[in-house]
Structure 1
Amino acid sequence: MRWDALFEDLESQFDALTEGDLYGEVADRIRAEVGRITVLDRLRGGVGGTIRVELGSGNAVQGVLSRVGKDCLLLAAERYDEWLIPATALTGVHGLGPWAESEQGAVAAKLGLAHLLRGIARDRSPVTVFCVGVDQHSVTGTIDRVGADFLEMAEHPLDAPRRRGEVYNTRLVPTTGLAAVRRREG
């Protein structure tokens, strides 16, 4: 009988060690997997939901996360405003669920900030540009050109069309200094 008790005790200790090793290994694998998730993966998991983002310019924007590109996100806010925000301008994001989603498709992987800025320039949409580190300062006008790492805009009042008589300055903004671009939808 004593031998049976000894073997049962040894078996239970072995089971406990094996179970502990298994839980430890699972926890290590989970930590390694979470370590590969990026900010953009987390944002992709929240597409369709309402979030609030804080920007390096000191502004905060709330809206429905409609799209996540390779280096930026698009928010649909109140009053038909669309916000194009570089991922590098984010200082905080609130309201995301627990999900993450990796990049999908070759086209989505190529759609980035420069591509979307070129689309806005092609549409000739009037925009408000917010720059990093400049509290509550914005510039209104029309994006004329988008280079590899900059945009050029003609500054004019938001409610005035881009006409020579309305343009009072031409500004070059490096994309590294861009906090957000707000555009009023149709």
Structure 2
Amino acid sequence: MRWDDLFEDLGAQLELMERQELAAETAEHVRAERGRVRLTDRLVAGTEEPLRLRVRGCGWLEARLRDVGTDWLLLEQGGGQQPGQELIVPTAAVTAVEGLTRRADVGEAVGSRRFGLRHALRAVSRDRAVVRLHDVDGDHVTGTLDRVLADHCDLTRHADDEPRRPSATRGVLSVPYAALALVRRL
């Protein structure tokens, strides 16, 4: 009988070690998977959710996430019964996000995720919308995006309550994308 007890005890120890090894492997696998999750993946999972974002040069913004591009976010501030104000924020200007879901949509090709910042700015330029560009240093300028180039854009400056006309323009400002904090459609 003692041999049976010994073999039973050894079997239980072996089973315990196998369970511990499996638990350790599972934990390592989870850590490895989490290590592949990007901020963009979590943002895609949080589309249409209200977020609080800290944007370099602008401080904290409260807005609803509308879309996620490869290197930009489309946000809507305000809203309610009427459409809110649209903002394009380069992800490089985002320094913190509050309110993200714990989920992540890794590898999802949702919405405009495949388009870069230049594509988003080209759409604004085509609309001839009046915008306010905020830079990462906290300054801003108002006008119309006239040209969207490889690493910068040209903004024809004019008052936000005036259409872009030669008599109303105050010059053309070239802004590198690396200096952009947000683009607010007025």
Band of TM-score, shorter chain = over 0.9
The equivalent residue for 1:151 is 153
The equivalent residue for 2:57 is 57
Offset of residue 20 of structure 1? 0.7
The equivalent residue for 2:182 is 180
- Superposed CA offset, 1:66-111 (max 9, x none): 1001111111111521110111111000101101112434984531
The equivalent residue for 1:160 is 162
Distance change in 2, residues 1:34/1:178 (3 Å): same
- Superposed CA offset, 1:123-148 (max 9, x none): 0100111111x13x211111110001
Structure 1 gap segments, 5+ residues each:
none
**Would you say the 8 A contact 1:128–1:138 is kept in 2?**
yes
The equivalent residue for 2:98 is 94
- Superposed CA offset, 1:145-172 (max 9, x none): 0001111001111111111222112110
- Report the residue type matching 2:24 in the other structure: G
C-alpha distance in 1, partners of 2:152/2:134?
14
Report the secondary structure of 2:73's partner residue: strand
Aligned-residue identity in percent: 38
Does residue 1:68 correspond to 2:97, yes or no? no
C-alpha distance in 2, partners of 1:108/1:42?
15
* Structure 2 counterparts to residues 1-186 of structure 1, below 5 A: 1-78=1-78, 80-105=84-109, 108-132=112-136, 134-135=137-138, 137-184=139-186
**Would you say the 8 A contact 2:52–2:60 is kept in 1?**
yes
Distance change in 2, residues 1:124/1:152 (3 Å): same
Offset of residue 59 of structure 1? 2.2
C-alpha distance in 2, partners of 1:81/1:106?
22
**Would you say the 8 A contact 2:131–2:184 is kept in 1?**
yes
Offset of residue 64 of structure 1? 1.0
Structure 2 gap segments, 5+ residues each:
none
TM-score, with structure 2 as normaliser: 0.92
- Report the residue type matching 1:40 in the other structure: T
- Report the residue type matching 1:161 in the other structure: P
**Would you say the 8 A contact 1:141–1:154 is kept in 2?**
yes
User: Number of residues paired by the alignment?
Assistant: 182
